Amino acid sequence: LGLRRLVHDPISGRFTATIISPAEGPTVYEATLTGRTVPIVSIPVLAAPMRQGDVISERDVVMLQVPAERINSSVILNADDIVGMTPRRSVSANTPIRDADVHAPIIVERGNPVTIRLNHGAIALTAKGRAMDDAARGDVLRVMNISSNRMVDAIAIAPNAVQISLP
């Protein structure tokens, strides 16, 4: 096949092309094709379905080519933005993943006992507490000190471990 003429409107995406057969020598067949071009975007999707609480690793992610018109601003475009995250609810394989579909894994769960750490210079103190909120690593949450029943704001630093700072 050969292409004799091609007209493309980049704004509408419409095109008209005249193809010939064979590409060289006397033309035996000629046809005019019309259509619309569609930009394609590569997005990260899950290779297999995942449930809430599963942590997404690099091997769980594959790239999928989809028409750009199927993508909105909430769809994640970079695989690095979903690796290490966990689904908020079950996510199907080969479907676009939105920002709202994933979050950082919860390392401190509401109601669970936690170790409260305070580091100040050479002094390190620990106390037992109870988490009043769910939190991912680096999130601020409310914690109740079990000994004093006082509420403090802390930062989740490890599974069931939080850190507070002196004002």
Closest CA to 85 of 99, 105, 100: 105
List, for residues 108-158, the tens digit of each pLDDT value.
Answer: 999 999 999 998 888 899 999 999 999 999 999 999 999 999 999 999 999
Burial class for 136, CB neighbours closer than 10 Å (0-12, 13-18, 19+): middle
On the CB side of 59, CA atoms within 13 Å amount to: 0
pLDDT for the residue numbered 90 = 93
- Can you name the residues that pair with 142 across neighbouring β-strands? 153
Read off the pTM.
Answer: 0.66
Residues in the chain: 167
